[in-house]
Structure 1
């Protein structure tokens, strides 16, 4: 059985056959999606005018916002698939030494599949060896995850000197609710689904954190008249 077929098999067993595209930007790649603002606009990212020291209050607020949205999207017993991927020119690989495996070390006994995806971003790749390398961990539940450490790591994406960070993209698939959670960096977070239903209550619950730039589109999908 090919690696991709094995991955499909895992997805079928855990009822995760979503058509949601696991691509950045998740919000713009999927019809039914929400985009949230994590980094507060009223708090400076920098603690000084020379931009030499970051403002930890900015990251505290961003982390708290991400945690609040996570709690709206996940219940403790929801079934989860963890997907981590990197863009590769054929040489780069996901290695067991990558921080991803330390971050999810408690899931080391769970089913894990490595796969390649060559058409995930575009169909006209200049070189056929270009692809997405992905690892998927299944048969996992929200209570297995350390969401605080996950959020801290993802918000550090552009600021690795604050602490650990991931070089690739991390998607948490909520198989129970049928949605995908993705923190793209300290600025924001996307949720996507195959239909409106999994996102409607979150739209209302976390409305104050929606990114104003895309609010009109989200209102057109979810606002109740």
Structure 2
């Protein structure tokens, strides 16, 4: 099953783009890093203690959601201008997939721009790459770190953004458990699922990472408040 068919079957109406949990009833938004930890120190330097904390949290959430034998789709959205003559493929499938034979299985779809409300949206389009694999095929730790490093060009690893409008959006889709994880940058991540019991364990374990803004919604979902 291709990713388009999978989403239509198990997450009908969901568009793989940022703000997944606003589109789906069963979901959680986590804010990464401890309260009071900022991206920069008082001296204006990057606060690497914060980033190490963010990496650890993002990878831990991933490991809670994805088992070694789970079937996984690694999905990447890249956004480009229709008028651009330059084309490029993100480096994710060459650099961050450990099983190199899988690079020949990467699928590509050309889709309408997934942000239709933006000005001049009709001038852009979305290229969606996807790869069906297993957790052990992926260097998922570095993928998570690269997602967190989006706004900080000096940090490594990074996804390539050459020829693209924005930094790529990468989604981990667990086709065994029907769960999607999106780490949008160092500030946080989103999780959606077809059944709330699939994500109840991470709600209970990481509920301190849920912001006050989102806590009431999460409590209504999991605590029957």
Shorter-chain TM range is 0.7 to 0.9
Distance change in 2, residues 1:83/1:222 (3 Å)? same
Which residue is equivalent to 1:190? Answer: 190
Which sections of structure 2, spanning at least 5 residues, go unmatched?
160-166
Please give the TM-score of this superposition, normalised by the length of structure 2. Answer: 0.83
Which residue is equivalent to 1:30? Answer: 24
Which residue is equivalent to 1:131? Answer: 125
Aligned residues: 213
> What is the alpha-carbon distance in structure 1 between the residues aligned to residue 169 and residue 141 of structure 2?
17
Residue 199 (structure 1) shift: 1.8
> What is the alpha-carbon distance in structure 1 between the residues aligned to residue 192 and residue 61 of structure 2?
13
Q: State the SS of the aligned residue for 2:27.
A: strand
Larger mean CA deviation between 213-222 and 169-178 belongs to 213-222
Root-mean-square deviation over aligned CA pairs: 2.6
Distance change in 2, residues 1:154/1:15 (3 Å)? closer
Distance change in 2, residues 1:92/1:144 (3 Å)? farther
Please give the TM-score of this superposition, normalised by the length of structure 1. Answer: 0.83
Cα deviation code 1:54-107 (max 9, x no counterpart): 1110111111111221121111111100000112222377624x3323333424
Residue 11 (structure 1) shift: 3.8
Which residue is equivalent to 2:142? Answer: 149
> What is the alpha-carbon distance in structure 2 between the residues aligned to residue 71 and residue 153 of structure 1?
16
> What is the alpha-carbon distance in structure 1 between the residues aligned to residue 85 and residue 212 of structure 2?
37
Which residue is equivalent to 2:162? Answer: none
Indicate whether 1:80 and 2:90 are aligned: no
Distance change in 2, residues 1:14/1:161 (3 Å)? same
Q: State the SS of the aligned residue for 1:177.
A: coil
Q: State the SS of the aligned residue for 2:218.
A: helix
> What is the alpha-carbon distance in structure 2 between the residues aligned to residue 132 and residue 170 of structure 1?
13
After superposing on structure 2, the runs of 4+ consecutive aligned residues of structure 1 that deviate more than 6 Å are 12-16
> What is the alpha-carbon distance in structure 2 between the residues aligned to residue 212 and residue 141 of structure 1?
35
Distance change in 2, residues 1:222/1:108 (3 Å)? same
Which residue is equivalent to 1:180? Answer: 180
Distance change in 2, residues 1:136/1:16 (3 Å)? farther
Distance change in 2, residues 1:70/1:58 (3 Å)? same
Q: Is the 8 Å Cα contact of residues 86 and 94 (structure 1) preserved in structure 2?
A: no
> What is the alpha-carbon distance in structure 2 between the residues aligned to residue 93 and residue 214 of structure 1?
40
> What is the alpha-carbon distance in structure 1 between the residues aligned to residue 31 and residue 96 of structure 2?
26
Indicate whether 1:70 and 2:62 are aligned: yes
